[in-house]
Every structure is written in C-alpha cells, then in structure tokens.
C-alpha cells in the first residue's frame, strides 16, 4: 500500500501550489499545515538540545530548550517563511562544545540529532497513518479525518525537513556534521566563504532548483517507511 499524501501538502512546494490553487485553497489547508510545521520544528530543536545536554552541555536546561513546547522553539518569522516560501527556521539551539569530552564527535552527534528525530517522527506518523486505514478510522467522523490529514502532512514535512537539514551548507546541520568529519584546517578554509554559500542556498531555494531533488529524496524515504509500516501494521 502506498501512502497517499497529495503533493500539494508538501512543504517544499507549498508556494507553487498556493499560486496554482489560489489563496482560498492555501489558507483552507493551513489547519493541517500549521500543526505539522510546529511538530516538525519543535522535535528537531528539542533533539539538538537533548543530545547536547546528555553530552554534558548543561546550558540547554538553563535556556529552557529541553521541552517539546513549540513556543520555546518556534521563531515567528522563520515559521511564516517555512509556510509561505517552503523554507524557514526555528530558534537555533546554541550549543557549547566545550562541555563535550570529544568536541568533534559531540558536534556530529548533536547536529545529527535534529534530522534523525525528524525521520523517527516521520516514520511514527506513517505507522499511525496506516493504523487509521487498518482500523477504518479515516471516515469515522470529521475529527478523525482531520487527524488523518494532519498525520499525513506531519509525516511528509518531517521527512522533508530531515533531508533538507542534511545539506552540508551553512547554517544547516549538514555543515556542522561536515565540520566534525573534515580536518579543522580544511573546514575553516571552506567557512571563509560561509556568507556566499548561504546566499547560494537561498537563491537555489527561491529559484526552485532544489525542489525536484529534495522531493525525489523525500518520496524515496517515504516509500521505504510505507513498506516497513505496512509490514508492522499488517497492511503489507
């Protein structure tokens, strides 16, 4: 069974579909998109803070980032940008690697935690999606139908956000993972061009050049999750 999430719910193409279907469609579907975005960004930032804290960074507890409360993680402008333009940001978790026993390994694990959590949540949402189908909850009433749509949208956005953040360009998590892998001398030479790389990333996003590869990657991961979830829920 294939997980059917219309591409118009895909956070990477919201701007395009808004133009195609008009503002009435776009705002009507915000009831599914908003909770999905809040969940995806909150679990992402929480994971960064939690792993950093477990590695010795006590500042995360002091800053109040060890929570899933969206209000502690969402940046108003970044959230609006994600909804309207397909890319955005949350309040960044400021980590202090000086608390880590091994600074390079600590940075890798902390950076990986956000995307990994998005993939985990995405997979759990796919399982829930399948369970709704398995037990006939989809059309039981309006509320269960709403939950079904939110679950599907949350799965899609979490997977997309996880993939996007693995791109090794500042300020994305992939660049921090790269920092832990490369020699410091090589990494800091690259970071001399950090500002230019960031502008290139923004241009690629705004131009839509990355939409195809990112959507293709998301669909590939989603397909794997659907097959695994189908076996778990007995729908395979």
Distances from the Cα of 199 to the Cα of 90, 170, 202, 205, angstroms: 19, 10, 5, 10
Please tell me the distance from the alpha carbon of residue 104 to that of residue 62, in angstroms, as a whole number: 23
Tokens of 7: 């591409």
Please tell me the distance from the alpha carbon of residue 114 to that of residue 174, in angstroms, as a whole number: 10
φ, ψ dihedrals at 50, nearest 5°: -65, -45
pLDDT (0 to 100) of residue 21: 46
The residues annotated with a catalytic role in the active site are 45
Please tell me the distance from the alpha carbon of residue 187 to that of residue 74, in angstroms, as a whole number: 30
pLDDT (0 to 100) of residue 122: 96
Please tell me the distance from the alpha carbon of residue 162 to that of residue 157, in angstroms, as a whole number: 8
Q: What's the sign of the alpha-carbon dihedral 121, 11, 81, 170? A: positive
Taking the mean position of all CA atoms in its chain, how far away is CA 43?
Answer: 9
Mean pLDDT (10-residue bins), the chain, 236 residues: 39 42 63 89 94 93 91 84 69 87 90 96 96 88 91 91 89 86 76 77 78 87 93 87
What does the CA dihedral 216, 182, 87, 155 come to, rounded to 10 degrees? 50
pLDDT (0 to 100) of residue 98: 86
pLDDT (0 to 100) of residue 178: 86
pTM score, two decimals? 0.84
């Amino acid at each position: 069974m294939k997980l059917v999430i219309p591409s118009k719910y895909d956070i990477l193409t919201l701007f395009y579909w808004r133009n195609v279907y008009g503002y009435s469609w776009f705002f009507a579907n915000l009831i599914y998109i908003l909770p999905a975005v809040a969940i995806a960004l909150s679990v992402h930032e929480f994971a960064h803070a939690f792993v950093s804290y477990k590695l010795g960074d006590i500042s995360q507890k002091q800053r109040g980032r060890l929570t899933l409360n969206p209000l502690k993680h969402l940046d108003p402008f970044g959230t609006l940008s994600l909804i309207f333009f397909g890319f955005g940001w949350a309040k960044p978790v400021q980590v202090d690697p000086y608390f880590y026993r091994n600074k390079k390994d600590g940075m890798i694990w902390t950076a990986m935690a956000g995307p990994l959590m998005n993939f985990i949540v995405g997979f759990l949402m796919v399982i829930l999606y399948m369970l709704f189908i398995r037990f006939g909850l989809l059309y039981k009433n309006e509320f269960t139908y709403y939950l079904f749509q939110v679950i599907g949208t949350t799965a899609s956005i979490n997977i997309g956000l996880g993939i996007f953040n693995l791109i090794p360009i500042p300020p994305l998590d992939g660049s921090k993972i790269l920092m832990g892998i490369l020699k410091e001398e090589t990494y800091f030479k690259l970071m001399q061009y950090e500002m230019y790389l960031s502008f290139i990333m923004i241009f690629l996003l705004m131009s839509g050049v990355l939409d195809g590869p990112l959507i293709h990657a998301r669909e590939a991961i989603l397909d794997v999750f659907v097959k695994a979830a189908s076996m778990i829920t007995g729908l395979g």
